[in-house]
Amino acid sequence: MSEFQRNVRFAVLPLPTEGARSSEFARTMAPHPLVHQELPYDPQYTIYNHRLIAMSMAGVSAEDAYWMLRRRAILRHTGEFPVEVRGPDAERLLNLVFTRDVAKTRVGRCSYQFACYDDGGMINDGVLVRLADDRFWYGQADGDLSLWLKAHARGMNVEVFDPEVWISQVQGPESLRILKAAIDGTYPDPFRYFDAAEVRIAGQDVVITRSGFTNELGWEIYLPPDIDVRAVGERVLEAGKPYGMLPVAVGGARRIEAGLLNAGSDFDETVTPFAAGLGSMVDLDKADFIGKAALENADKRPRTWGLRVSGGVAGIGRSLRKDGSPAGRVCSSAWSPFQGCGVAIVRLDDPDLGAGTEVDVECADGRTRPAVVCDLPMYDKERQIPRGKLVDIPELPGADEPS
C-alpha cells in the first residue's frame, strides 16, 4: 500500500433523508442503509459497485472475524448490486447472456450465473434469484452487467433496472438459529441451499436466500427501499446477540479456501470460464448464448488453482516462479488462521501444471518462500457445510485437548 493510499480517508454518513441536501457523489459512493451498525467498530471502506463496503475494522481483527465466521456467526453488509430483470422476455434475455440454462432455475430458487463476451472472456458473476416466472434479481459482483443486459434487450419485451435493493448476510454455523429467532412467525420449510423465500422480519416483508460468499452455512437478506430497513437490521442484530454475532468485514481467507472467485481479481475479460476452473458452469448443449462459439473451441484445461504458502502471505501479481522462471499470477491471497499458512488463488501460465506443483512465491514481506499448488476448494470439496449436511466447527489453535 502506497503512502498516498494510507492517507486517503472516506467520511461515511447515512444516506440523506427525503428533502435533505445530498452530494452529487451520493450514488457514486453510497453507504449501506445499515452502515450505522458498522461505525462503532472503526471500519475502513472501499468502493464496490459504486457503493461503500467495509474492507477492515479496527475493532474486530481479521483473525477474530475469521474465527467468528467459522465457529459462531457474522453479520456483513455487502456491496453486491441487485439488478432487476422483469417482463415476458426476461428469461429469454438472461438465457442469451448467461452460460447456464436459466429455465432450470425455478421460482423460489437461486443459481450462480456469469456472462461472457463474444470471445469467451468473462464479464461478471453473481447470484440469480427467480422471484416469479417473469421477474428476477441478479446480485452481481463488482462491475455493471446492467448495461450489457440492456444492450442485448433490443426488440424484447423486458425491463432492466436498479430496484434500489441492498444485501446483507448472516454466515456461520449458528446462522439458521439466528434466522429462526429473527423471523415473525413460521420459518420457511423447506429452506434448502440456494432456496429463496419471502418472510417477515420486524413486521417488514423481505426476501431471504440460502446463499453467501463464505462457503459456510448462511443466508442473505434483500432489503428493498419501501420498508423500515433500520427495524429489520435491529431485529437481526438482536437475534444474533446470544451467539456473539457482530457486524464484521470478513477478509479473503475463507472464500479463498472455498475457491469462491472474486470478479476483477481472480478472473477478468481475458480469462475464459474454463481457465477460471468454472467449466462445469458452461452448458454448451443449451441454445445459443453470447460467447458460445468461442467457448466451444476454447482450451478446456483449468489454469486457476489454490496455493498454500509456508510461513507467509503471497504477494499479489506475477510473483510465482518455477525452477527460476515466471510461472503465473497470484490473484488473491490471505493468511488462514485455520490452516496456519498463507492461502491464495493463482492462475498458472502452463495449463498442464496443477495440484501438487511446487513453486516459489514472492511474499508480501519481500521474502521468497516455497509453496504448493492445491485443489479448490481446499477442504469441504463437496460443499457439505453450506448445505447444512456437515457441522464442522474447528477448535481454536492452542485450545486445551479434551481429557
- Distance of alpha carbon 271 from alpha carbon 380, whole angstroms: 26
- Distance of alpha carbon 106 from alpha carbon 353, whole angstroms: 39
The response to whether 63 counts as a known ligand-binding position is no
Instruction: Name the residue among 112, 82, 87, 90 with its Cα closest to residue 99.
Output: 112
For residue 304, list its beta bridge partners: 347
Bridge-based pairing state of the strands 81-86 and 159-161: antiparallel
Residue 280 sits at φ, ψ, to 5 deg, of -70, -15
The DSSP letter of residue 98 is: B
Q: How many CB atoms lie within 10 A of CB 49?
A: 18
Residue 67 sits at φ, ψ, to 5 deg, of -70, -35
The DSSP letter of residue 85 is: E
User: Which H or E element spans position 230?
Assistant: helix 229-240
Q: Is residue 396 part of a domain?
A: no
At 23 the pLDDT is 56
**266 lies in the same domain as 236:** no
At 144 the pLDDT is 85
Q: Is residue 24 part of a domain?
A: yes
Instruction: Name the residue among 286, 273, 288 with its Cα closest to residue 101.
Output: 286
What are the CA-CA distances from residue 188 to residues 109, 183, 206 (Å)?
Answer: 13, 9, 13
**236 lies in the same domain as 258:** no
CA quadruple 37, 38, 41, 42: dihedral positive or negative?
negative
**19 lies in the same domain as 130:** yes
User: What is the block-wise mean pLDDT of the chain (403 residues), using blocks of 10 residues?
Assistant: 46 52 64 96 93 92 95 97 98 98 98 98 98 98 94 98 98 98 95 98 98 96 98 98 95 94 96 98 96 98 98 97 97 97 98 98 97 98 96 79 31
Query: Residue 269: which domain range?
Result: 254-374
Bridge-based pairing state of the strands 135-140 and 81-86: antiparallel
Q: Is residue 159 part of a domain?
A: yes
**20 lies in the same domain as 136:** yes
Q: Is residue 385 part of a domain?
A: no
Q: Is residue 392 part of a domain?
A: no
**181 lies in the same domain as 307:** no
- Distance of alpha carbon 241 from alpha carbon 329, whole angstroms: 41
- Distance of alpha carbon 193 from alpha carbon 149, whole angstroms: 27
The C-alpha cell at 35 is: 452502515
At 29 the pLDDT is 83
**194 lies in the same domain as 276:** no
At 126 the pLDDT is 97
Instruction: Say which CATH number the domain at 226 has.
Output: 3.30.1360.120
At 26 the pLDDT is 57
Q: Greatest CA span in the chain, whole angstroms?
A: 71
The C-alpha cell at 372 is: 504448493
Instruction: Name the residue among 340, 387, 355, 403 with its Cα closest to residue 193.
Output: 387
**196 lies in the same domain as 277:** no
The one-letter amino acid code at 348 reads L
What are the CA-CA distances from residue 324 to residues 355, 358, 361, 368 (Å)?
Answer: 19, 12, 10, 11
At 1 the pLDDT is 46
- Rg for the chain, CA atoms, rounded: 21
**223 lies in the same domain as 156:** yes
In this structure, are residues 320 and 326 in contact, taking their beta carbons and an 8 Å threshold? yes
Question: In total, how many domains does the chain have?
Answer: 2
- Distance of alpha carbon 332 from alpha carbon 350, whole angstroms: 19
Instruction: Say which CATH number the domain at 369 has.
Output: 2.40.30.110
If you count them, how many residues does the chain have? 403
Q: Is residue 382 part of a domain?
A: no
- Distance of alpha carbon 230 from alpha carbon 243, whole angstroms: 21
Instruction: Name the residue among 280, 297, 347, 329 with its Cα closest to residue 119.
Output: 297
**118 lies in the same domain as 246:** yes
**93 lies in the same domain as 31:** yes
**240 lies in the same domain as 259:** no
Among candidate residues 224, 252, 280, the one where a domain is terminated: 252
Give the per-residue SS3 of 195-217: EEEEEEECCEEEEEECCCCCCCC
At 357 the pLDDT is 98
At 250 the pLDDT is 82
**258 lies in the same domain as 173:** no
Q: Is residue 394 part of a domain?
A: no
Instruction: Name the residue among 352, 388, 337 with its Cα closest to residue 65.
Output: 337
What are the CA-CA distances from residue 109 to residues 19, 89, 191 (Å)?
Answer: 38, 19, 10
Q: Is residue 400 part of a domain?
A: no
The DSSP letter of residue 339 is: T
